[in-house]
Amino acid sequence: MAPERIVLRYSNDTADKPIIYKLVKDYDLIVNILKASINPHKEGTLVLELIGERYAEGIDYLRSQGISVHPLAQEVVRNNDKCTHCGACIVHCPTKALYVERPSMEVKFNEDECVVCLSCLKVCPVKAMEVRL
Amino acid sequence: MSIERTYAEINSRIKAGKAVVLTAEEVIERVREKGLSQTAREVDVVTTGTFGPMCSSGAFLNFGHSNPRIRISKVWLNNVPAYAGIAAADAYIGATELPEGDPCNTDYPGEFRYGGGHVIEDLVARKTVHLKATSYGTDCYPRREIETDITLDEINEAILFNPRNGYQNYNCAINLSGRTIHTYMGTLKPQMGNAHYSTSGQLSPLLKDPYFRTIGIGTRIFLGGGIGYVAWNGTQHFPGRLKDENGNDLNGAGGTLAVLGDLKQMKTGWLVGASFRGYGSTLTVGLGIPIPILNEEILALAAKTDDELYAPIVDYSDNYPNSKPGNLGVVSYAELKSGKIRINDKEIPTAPLSSYYKAREIAGTLKQWIEKGEFLLGEPSQLLPGPQAGLSGKTLSSK
């Protein structure tokens, strides 16, 4: 069985909880951290590979802690024809893959920094951010 | 002697290809280099621009008459209701109207993927729009229903008529509560996790003519990628002055514009349907206004910079929804544009909802049109009420 690739997003009140330790010790899961980031507001994003017999219980535990769990999509792309460079996405991007270049105030997207958390898809007013599966 | 110009003088220079036009950004540099008096002698027109979500937008459409005729009572465009209580074949599609059966916020926060603003965007893109209309039938209009497809070129008229656009200034929105909130100012994180603003600051049309000395009924403007006009003051036109906590006069507060133009000559990319999660849908409008430099005083106001222009900070978790007056202080557009501000010793990341990048493009496009002699200034037949009119908002009370 191949490990599941998942994206976890947690808020500042969860940031200090030892969730990886719990996944390993209490649910006997094998964890491989692919990418991890935490912003100055202590909101975090983790991209994990996770495998083990008690996988489903581990996911339930994460959700019970208020952590959102999503499968890792292949990649997020920006539709440059649609983007209006407004900036509504900027503060919702946990890794600053989306950022404003100053002084031009052009919104840039650095795909290498993207952890595919999909936050930008939800907040983009013109639906310029798309998932490529 | 200080310079005085008339609209006629400026227009004759535009026709001769001799008008000196700078964007509201460029004029700031010119004033820094050469001073106000010299710049006022040299520059005829300053162009401004703004590109942001603007509720209170919509379009009057006349579909033409079917055979046999129908006196349309209700009409839907791509399943979005338009208001048909105007005449037999006329309707008004409003930017914030949602499709019939939209789940709205039943699964909070709702997505609001499509609405009246998107219908307008699709029309401008020359996409086919599905029309369904019903009626009760009369002797002169016997038909009771029609279902067909239309495009912008196949209908008689399409007039973009936005009753309230171009807000002079707008709140910097924050969230003091402990939960994420979804507003028309975007998604606001708890405990001041972010701050959103929605004005193009030093490029913003009404911040650069705060006393309405040049903008009035008949002012010719850039609207949706084409040419439009100021029709009247906008609804909720309260052009007072923003003051800081010590009562110091800062800048314009809340003037607005009603604008109109022929939708058929507007362009894709400058009228864009927008969705705000948990709030609704609307239309993002590109708007640009030329300010004629009639004298040095008008230039001084048009050359104000981001660090001289301020927005009030407003809490959208309690103060705004519950109509509690006052604000949490003011912040300059220079600070907002830097990407972070400080409130109560907390550093807060900022983001705009209005695109400064596009606003600059609008001001630049308008400048080009004027330089090429394609766009003459419209002299207002009447100026709009300014701060001295003392206009303020009324409350809708429950009786």
B51-87: per-residue pLDDT in tens? 999 999 999 999 999 999 999 999 999 999 999 999 9
Task: Count Cα atoms within 13 angstroms, Cβ side, for B388.
Answer: 5
Confidence of residue A38 (pLDDT cuts 50, 70, 90): confident
What is this structure's pTM?
0.88
* Nearest neighbour of A125 by CB, restricted to B275, B337, B357: B275
Mean pLDDT score across all residues of chain B: 96
Question: What's the sign of the alpha-carbon dihedral A47, A51, A52, A56?
Answer: positive
Domain match, A12 and A62 both: yes
Which token pair is B7? 């609209």
Lowest-confidence region among A94-98, B257-261, B330-334, B378-382: A94-98
Mean pLDDT of all residues in B89-93: 98
Mean pLDDT of all residues in A110-132: 90
- Residues of B in Cβ contact (< 8 Å) with A91: 189, 193-194, 349-351
- Residues of A in Cβ contact (< 8 Å) with B337: 102, 105
Distance CA B209, CA B255 (A): 10
The CATH number of residue A99's host domain is: 3.30.70.20
Domain match, A91 and A66 both: no
Range of the domain at A89: 75-132
**Total tally of structural domains belonging to chain A:** 2
Domain match, A91 and A46 both: no
pLDDT at B359 over 90: yes
What letters, b where the CB count within 10 A reaches 16 and e where it falls short, cover B123-159? bbeeeebebbbbbeeeeebebeebeeebebeebeebb
Chosen domain end from A34, A55, A71: A71
Domain match, A21 and A44 both: yes
Domain match, A128 and A84 both: yes
Q: How far is B292 from chain A (nearest CA, A)?
A: 26
Interface contact flag, B350 A104, Cβ < 8 Å: no
pLDDT at A14 over 80: no
Closest alpha carbon within chain B to A89: B351
Domain match, A42 and A89 both: no
Residue A39, pLDDT score: 75
- Percent residues over pLDDT 70 in chain B: 100
Interface contact flag, A87 B51, Cβ < 8 Å: no
Residue A116, pLDDT score: 83
Q: How far is A31 from chain B (nearest CA, A)?
A: 30
Interface contact flag, B351 A84, Cβ < 8 Å: no
Mean pLDDT of all residues in B266-289: 97
Domain match, A30 and A87 both: no
Residue B1, pLDDT score: 56
Domain match, A29 and A61 both: yes
- Residues of B in Cβ contact (< 8 Å) with A102: 337-339
Distance of CA B376 to the CA centre of its chain: 21
Domain match, A33 and A56 both: yes
Mean pLDDT of all residues in B182-198: 95
Which token pair is B313? 């900070």
Confidence of residue B332 (pLDDT cuts 50, 70, 90): very high
Chosen domain end from A35, A54, A71: A71
* Nearest neighbour of B339 by CB, restricted to A82, A100, A104: A100
- Residues of B in Cβ contact (< 8 Å) with A94: none
The CATH number of residue A38's host domain is: 3.30.70.260
Q: Is B140 marked active-site?
A: yes
